[in-house]
C-alpha cells in the first residue's frame, strides 16, 4: 500500500515569527521544521504501510527556499521519498492556491491508496486544505480521523464528532485528515537520520507541475490582509502568591460574582 503524506514545514513555534508589516505575511527567514501536527500523519502512514506488509510512504511539501529541514525529519522517521515544491512564484499563496499545488504534487508522487494530512497546520490553521485537495483531485475524504485502517480497497476511520465519534468508511484512494495525539510519533533513530540524507527529494517548480503561475502566490490569492491591529487587551488582574489562603481568595471572588 502506498500512502502520500502532506507535511508542512514551518518556523519553530518555540520561536514564533512575526507578521511582516510590509508584505503582511509571516516572516520566514528562519530555518523550518516539521509541523508537529503532521508528525502524527507520518507515523500513521508508516504504521499502515507496515500493517499492509508492503508499499511506501511518500511526502509532499510546499515550502520556500528549497527548505528540506522538516522533510529530513520525516524521512528519518521512515518515509521513502519526497516531492518538494519550491518556487518564488508561490510566495503569498492562500489555502486554495496551496491546495492546487499540493494536488498536482500528490499526482506526481505516484499512485497512492491514501493521502494523509493533518486536520490543521500549526501556523496557518485554516483547516480547509484537506477538503480542497480532495475536491481538486475528485476524491472522497474523511476529516478528523482518530484512527485509520485500510482493508481491501476500503479505508475505515473513527471520525471525531461533537458528541463522540463516528465510524466512517470510504473507497480508496481517499484523503484522510488526522487529529493530533492519535499515535505516538517515533523518534528518528541514528540509522534513520543517516539514511534520510540519501533519500530522494524530487524538487519541482510550479511550471514542472503544469500550473499557471497566475493561479498561485500573490497573483492567485483571492484574499488580502487589509489591516493588522493590536487586539483589545484584558484589564490586568490581581495576581497573588499562595500563602495557604489562596483558596479563600477564589471563594471570595466567586461570592463577589454571585456564582456561589
Ligand X SMILES: Nc1ncnc2c1ncn2[C@@H]1O[C@H](COP(=O)(O)O)[C@@H](O)[C@H]1O
Determine which residue in the list 1, 3, 7, 145 makes contact with ligand X, applying CB under 6 A. 7
Q: Find where cell 519553530 sits.
A: 12
* DSSP three-state, residue 80: coil
Q: Which of residues 149-178 bind ligand FAD (CB under 6 A)?
A: none
User: 62 pairs with which residues across the strands?
Assistant: 85
φ/ψ of residue 103, rounded to 5: -60, -45
Determine which residue in the list 38, 43, 87, 113 makes contact with ligand X, applying CB under 6 A. 38
Assess 120 for contact with ligand FAD (CB under 6 A).
yes
Assess 179 for contact with ligand FAD (CB under 6 A).
no
Cis peptide bond N-terminal to 173, omega within 30: yes
Stretch that binds another protein, among 4-12, 61-69, 164-172, 194-202 (CB under 8 A): 164-172
Q: What is the per-residue burial (b if ≥16 Cβ within 10 Å, else e) of 98-123?
A: bbbbbbbbbbbbeebbbbbbbbbbeb
Assess 111 for contact with another protein (CB under 8 A).
no
> The C-alpha cell of 150 is what?
485500510
Q: Find where cell 461570592 sits.
A: 255
Assess 64 for contact with ligand X (CB under 6 A).
no
- Residues in CB range of 164: below 8 A, 6 or more apart: none
Determine which residue in the list 60, 141, 150, 209 makes contact with another protein, applying CB under 8 A. 141
Q: Which of residues 44-103 bind another protein (CB under 8 A)?
A: 94-96, 99
> The C-alpha cell of 245 is what?
489562603
Number of shown-chain residues binding ligand FAD (CB under 6 A)? 5
Q: 81-120 mask for ligand X (x: CB under 6 A)?
A: --------------x--x---x--------------xx-x
Determine which residue in the list 10, 77, 116, 134 makes contact with another protein, applying CB under 8 A. 134
> The C-alpha cell of 57 is what?
510512504
CA distance 168 to 176: 11
Assess 14 for contact with another protein (CB under 8 A).
no
Binding site for ligand X (CB under 6 A): 6-8, 35, 37-38, 61-62, 95, 98, 102, 117-118, 120-121, 124-130
Binding site for ligand FAD (CB under 6 A): 36-37, 120, 122, 125
Amino acid at each position: 500500500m502506498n500512502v502520500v503524506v502532506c507535511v508542512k514545514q514551518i518556523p519553530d513555534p518555540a520561536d514564533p515569527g512575526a507578521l511582516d508589516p510590509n508584505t503582511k505575511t509571516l516572516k520566514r527567514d528562519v530555518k523550518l521544521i516539521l509541523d508537529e501536527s503532521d508528525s502524527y500523519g507520518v507515523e500513521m502512514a508508516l504504521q499502515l504501510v507496515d500493517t499492509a506488509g508492503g508499499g511506501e510512504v511518500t511526502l509532499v511539501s510546499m515550502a520556500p527556499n528549497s527548505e528540506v529541514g522538516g522533510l529530513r525529519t520525516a524521512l528519518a522517521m521512515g518515509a521513502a521519498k519526497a516531492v518538494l515544491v519550491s518556487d518564488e512564484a508561490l510566495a503569498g499563496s492562500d489555502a486554495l492556491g496551496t491546495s492546487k499545488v499540493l494536488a498536482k504534487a500528490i499526482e506526481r508522487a505516484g499512485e497512492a491508496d491514501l493521502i494523509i494530512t493533518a486536520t490543521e497546520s500549526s501556523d496557518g490553521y485554516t483547516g480547509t486544505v484537506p477538503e480542497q485537495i480532495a475536491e481538486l483531485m475528485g476524491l472522497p475524504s474523511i476529516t478528523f480521523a482518530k484512527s485509520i485502517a485500510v482493508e481491501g480497497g476500503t479505508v475505515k476511520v473513527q471520525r471525531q464528532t461533537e458528541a463522540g465519534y463516528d465510524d466512517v468508511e470510504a473507497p480508496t484512494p481517499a484523503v484522510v485528515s488526522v487529529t493530533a495525539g492519535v499515535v505516538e510519533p517515533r523518534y528518528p533513530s541514528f540509522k534513520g537520520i543517516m539514511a534520510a540524507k540519501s533519500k530522494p527529494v524530487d524538487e519541482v517548480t510550479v511550471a514542472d507541475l503544469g500550473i499557471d503561475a497566475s493561479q498561485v502566490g500573490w497573483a492567485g490569492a483571492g484574499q488580502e490582509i487589509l489591516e493588522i491591529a493590536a487586539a483589545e487587551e484584558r484589564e490586568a488582574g490581581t495576581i497573588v502568591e499562595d500563602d495557604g489562603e489562596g483558596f479563600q481568595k477564589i471563594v471570595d471572588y466567586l461570592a463577589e460574582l454571585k456564582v456561589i
